[in-house]
Amino acid sequence: MHTRRTLRRSRMAAGVLAAAALLVAGCSDGGSTNTASTNTASTTTAQAALAPLPQATPSALASYYGQKPVWRSCGVPGFQCATLKAPLDYAHPESGQVRLAVARKKATGPGKPLGSLLVNPGGPGGSAVGYLQEYAGIGYPAQVRARYDMVAVDPRGVARSEPVECLDGRQMDAYTQTDVTPDDQEETDELVAAYKKFAEGCGARSAKLLRHVSTVEAARDMDIVRAALGDRKLTYVGASYGTYLGATYAGLYPDRVGRLVLDGAMDPSLPARRMNLDQTAGFETAFQSFAKDCVKHADCPLGGPRTTPQQVGDHLKAFFRKLDAHPIPAGDADGRKLGEALATTGVIAAMYDEAAWEQLREALTSAMKQNDGAGLLSLSDSYYERDSGGRYANLMFANAAVNCLDLPPAFDSPQQVEKALPAFEKASPVFGAGLAWSSLNCAYWPVRATGEPHRIKAAGAAPIVVVGTTRDPATPYRWAQSLTRQLSSARLLTYVGDGHTAYGRGSTCIDSAINTYLLHGTPPPAGKRCS
């Protein structure tokens, strides 16, 4: 996810995953809770492995693999940009093309060049090009940037690569303020209407592309980029959803795996509801850490030294209920007020990075003590990538488009959500209800899912490093453990701590282990833990 800019905005985009709707969708402790046919994978499906593609390049794709990028100035000093093409539909390469935006920063030296290092911040929907220009290309360790050309490609449907579009700014403002904890049938109907309007907007504005923004297609695009760059194998660092993209690449092209780092790992074997439930529990774990820290500070508006984390959560929920009934001013030029939905998003945004906890305390103090919601609104806007002019990046549009294509929906109806509420609220008393209802958005998607839960083995691949953070809110640690067990050549590197992802976030131990792997090809020893 990103470098620090009010909330490490580059990093935060990386953490939006699962079935992000009005919030990021949530998840739980791992116990099975519901058995709806759309979400509970059968044993056969859950254990099915992603099959590798033939090693030989199909003749129909030869022209794509023969491309040579024409580099030009990006307008950002030190960076170059190019455009490559990929087939819209790999099953029918003749049916159309998509344009992929690629950026690079050449290796600075000294030392023997090691080729290209592709980076992806996650999402789905996070701009890899933006991440490279704002963080990775200048913030990655100097010794890594010295030996590698730092490269990024925006996946199809994202940012500069033919972005999916759904709603305009004012429509998105209304969407993000929709109540995701409905109290009655009228509010439930309003939420369903919001999901339908969002889906219809995507279908109307991006109809052709919506069927072809899957993770498998994006991974196949990466292989075209690899070939165009002249690299025999792919070297890659992916964060959050970027781990799913990287693992998918490894499953499709195990013989072309170079040095892969999958930081903040996702588990491709999980159905959507289980994934959302696990993530809900992850946000609760992060909130518990925040609560324990908050009460140590004199400015904590949620309690004092003797306040328990449960009481902190109760106080926050009471504040959310108050905002649900009476939104407060937020100093917004467009007249938005801070209601429950935006406030909850602001709090969740700060869970991604413990460095944002101070900012969250200040924002909560202003809102709870001074009736000023500007701080929480700012956090929410950073999460949604809304600028001061009321314009939204396409993060949330691409996020839904990819997620709703990759997996069948977590829920088919409001009735299914209502039955699942106890499990979600058990996973997170603070966020559970909102994250459960947010998992309903794919039920109304205009395109049926093409993907299913599956395992990724990548038999024959070179060693792959999977990184997991023990109190990661968005990609729970157990997902890293599961992905490590699936990948035949994976090594698990554990960070014992808070926050989403671990590389480049202050742990010398983590950074040293990954740098050694990237520079020398030596993975960390099995079971290595850092704190």
User: DSSP letters along 209-256, please?
Assistant: HHTT--HHHHHHHHHHHHHHHT-SSEEEEEETHHHHHHHHHHHH-GGG
Is there a catalytic annotation at residue 10?
A: no
Residue with more model confidence, 34 or 301: 301
Q: What is the mean pLDDT of residues 170-188?
A: 98
Is there a catalytic annotation at residue 482?
A: no
pLDDT for res 36: 34
Tell me which of 353, 372, 472, 511 is the catalytic residue. 472
pLDDT for res 75: 87
CA-based nearest residue to 12, from 352, 263, 344: 352
Q: How many CB atoms lie within 10 A of CB 255?
A: 13
pTM of the model: 0.92
The angle that helices 272-294 and 309-325 make with each other, rounded to 10 degrees, is 110
Residue type, 445: W
d(CA 152, CA 118) in angstroms, rounded, equals 5
Q: How many CB atoms lie within 10 A of CB 51?
A: 9
Asked whether the predicted pLDDT for residue 463 surpasses 50, the reply is yes
pLDDT for res 492: 98
pLDDT for res 48: 86
Tell me which of 240, 289, 382, 438 is the catalytic residue. 240
List, for residues 331-374, the tens digit of each pLDDT value. 999 999 999 999 999 999 999 999 999 999 999 999 999 999 99
Q: What is the mean pLDDT of residues 172-197?
A: 98
pLDDT for res 144: 98
Q: How many CB atoms lie within 10 A of CB 499?
A: 27
Residue with more model confidence, 75 or 175: 175
Asked whether the predicted pLDDT for residue 379 surpasses 50, the reply is yes
Q: How many CB atoms lie within 10 A of CB 233?
A: 16
Is there a catalytic annotation at residue 388?
A: no
Q: Which residues lie across from 262 on neighbouring strands?
A: 238, 466
For the chain, the straight-line distance linking the first and the last C-alpha, in angstroms and rounded, comes to: 19
Asked whether the predicted pLDDT for residue 28 surpasses 60, the reply is no
d(CA 264, CA 468) in angstroms, rounded, equals 5
Asked whether the predicted pLDDT for residue 522 surpasses 50, the reply is yes
d(CA 501, CA 474) in angstroms, rounded, equals 9
**Residue/partner pairs of 525-529 with CB below 8 Å, 24 or more apart:** 525/491, 526/491, 526/492, 527/492, 527/494, 528/491, 528/492, 528/493, 528/494, 529/494, 529/495, 529/496
Asked whether the predicted pLDDT for residue 325 surpasses 70, the reply is yes
Average pLDDT, the chain: 92
Residue with more model confidence, 75 or 323: 323
Region of poorest pLDDT, from 7-16, 196-205, 401-410, 481-490 = 7-16
List, for residues 408-429, the tens digit of each pLDDT value. 999 999 999 999 999 999 999 9
Domain definitions of the chain by residue range: 166-205+271-384+410-444
Q: What is the mean pLDDT of residues 370-392?
A: 97
pLDDT for res 11: 41
Asked whether the predicted pLDDT for residue 21 surpasses 60, the reply is no
List, for residues 112-128, the tens digit of each pLDDT value. 999 999 999 999 999 99
Torsion of CA 30, 34, 40, 44, to 10 degrees: 70
Tell me which of 28, 482, 500, 511 is the catalytic residue. 500
List, for residues 237-263, the tens digit of each pLDDT value. 999 999 999 999 999 999 999 999 999
DSSP 8-state secondary structure symbol assigned to residue 115 = -
pLDDT for res 398: 98
Pairing label, strands 149-153, 116-120: parallel
Asked whether the predicted pLDDT for residue 20 surpasses 50, the reply is no
List, for residues 261-289, the tens digit of each pLDDT value. 999 999 999 999 999 999 999 999 999 99
Asked whether the predicted pLDDT for residue 322 surpasses 60, the reply is yes
pLDDT for res 10: 38
Task: Provide the pLDDT confidence category of residue 24 given band limits of 50, 70 and 90.
Answer: very low
DSSP secondary structure letters along 196-207: HHHHHHHHHHSH
Helix (H, G, I), strand (E, B) or coil at 314: helix
Task: Provide the pLDDT confidence category of residue 47 given band limits of 50, 70 and 90.
Answer: low
d(CA 124, CA 10) in angstroms, rounded, equals 13
* Helices and strands in the chain, H and E counts: 21, 12
